[in-house]
Homo-oligomer: A and B are copies of this chain.
Amino acid sequence: MTAQNEATQKIRSFNRFYTRLLGLLDRHILDSDFSMTEARVLLEISKENGTTARKLTERLKIDPSYMSRMLRGFEARSLITQTPSPTDSRSKLITSTAEGLLALERLSERSDAQVRSLTAALSPEELQSVLDAMALIRSQFSRAVFPAVIRNYQPGDEEYIIQRHRELYLNEYGLNEAFAGYVHKTVHQLTDHLDPNTECVLIAEGNGRPMGSIAIAKRDSQTAQLRYFLLEPEARGQGLGLRLIEEALSFCRQTGYKRVFLETINLLTTARSLYSRMGFQIYQTRVQSDWGREVTEEYWELIL
């Protein structure tokens, strides 16, 4: 009890400390042309060109009228453009201008500089130890801060799966459009005739946004294929991937499958270690050259 209490005091002390640190770091926003909230909104707009005020208010939990005024201000400063939505004439589509992106760039550059000055005096080993410490704190507290939920398929989710597979695999792993096309085709095969009793598509959601995906496709009455396992970079390292896989496998068990297999490529090291942790084993590999670079395709299976 006393130990717990002492720990509580230490954590509160650290929190006060870090509040001050963050205060110092965010100081630069004070003497920029943006408030904290404006910066958040501007960033969010840049992330999704053609959003609506609605989405922004939901994601950032900002009052609609406040948002309306802020957007008008942004438009007056030529940071964004608002064009009437063709599909819903109540809304406007909001897009960053080059000027807006530049402003964000400058803001981000200044933040980077602040952090660099903070770490400048540290040796590489010390820096690494700080990063490790941050990762540890984050992983222990993430559940409280980041209450991601895993929900079932909703129409429109294929868009997300296809688009993010495309962006992540092309950028991070250097695959080509052929791969993206393959994903596009097979995702639609699954979602166009989804049998909810034997198949599922699960989406992890946090911050009012998809944070990852996984799917179970039926191969035969005994065999399921685990597909489209993806986790947003910002959501990694928080056990969310594990939850997704567990959820998917739990679905397989309920459905009565005897065997689950999956296809992956050797490059996806984090995913691979998760598969192996769940009991999956490689039963076949082959070299695949159709996707822009030579990769080793691996087939893993798990007997339930």
Which positions in A face B, CB cutoff 8 Å? 3-5, 7-15, 17-22, 24-25, 111-112, 115-119, 121-122, 124, 126-127, 129-138, 140-146, 234
Contacts and interface: CB of A to CB of B under 8 A. Distances in A.
A133 B133 contact: yes
Contact of A14 (B8, B117, B138, B146): B138
A3 to B, nearest CB: 8
9 contacts: A4-B119, A8-B115, A14-B138, A15-B115, A17-B142, A20-B145, A21-B145, A133-B134, A133-B137
B22 A138 contact: no
B129 A21 contact: no
A144 B24 contact: yes
Nearest to A130: B140
B112 A8 contact: yes
Contact of A17 (B4, B130, B145): B145
Nearest to A136: B133
A144 B21 contact: yes
A17 B140 contact: no
A8 B141 contact: no
Nearest to A4: B116
B137 A130 contact: yes
A18 B8 CA distance: 17
A268 to B, nearest CB: 19
Contacts of A119: 4, 7-8, 11
Which one of A5, A10, A11, A15 has the greatest number of beta carbons of chain B within 10 Å? A11
Contact of A22 (B7, B18, B111, B112): B18
Contact of A11 (B11, B17, B134): B134
